[in-house]
Amino acid sequence: MNAAMAVGLVAGMLGSMASAADRKPVVVTTDIGTEIDDLWAVAHLMLSPELEVKGVVTTHAPNLAAPAAESSSKYAQELMKKLPAKFRAPVMAGSSKPLANLTTPNPIRESTS
């Protein structure tokens, strides 16, 4: 059984376990694409009957192709395509650079769309 089939099977089993009112809204931040653990973690969160993932924000990682957040976003978007529609969440590329320090945010980049 391949990974896409396994995700679909689990999604079908969990789909009706929790009502929408009982689910906690969350936003996931990840550097998915660097190692397999984030792929499985995001899939688990997306399929969790206790959580309603409102969005996935991808981030920088030293071993992702530049710009890192956009590269990571492509991995997250590919994962979303493998999930049933009701389990999908929007994916947004965050910053491709780490924070300079704990008190200074990175500048907001202009939208290209």
pLDDT at 20: 65
19 in Cβ contact with 50 (< 8 Å): no
What pTM does this model have? 0.72
* Residue 73 domain flag: yes
* Residue 5 domain flag: no
* Residue 12 domain flag: no
* Residue 68 domain flag: yes
pLDDT tens per residue across all 113 residues of the chain: 555 555 555 555 555 555 667 899 999 999 999 889 999 999 999 999 999 999 999 998 888 888 999 999 999 999 999 999 999 999 999 988 888 888 988 777 655 54
* Residue 50 domain flag: yes
**Domain assignment of residue 60, given as a range:** 22-93
* Residue 87 domain flag: yes
- The alpha carbon dihedral of 27, 108, 93, 90 has a sign of positive
* Residue 16 domain flag: no
Q: How many domains does the chain have?
A: 1
pLDDT at 11: 55
* Residue 112 domain flag: no
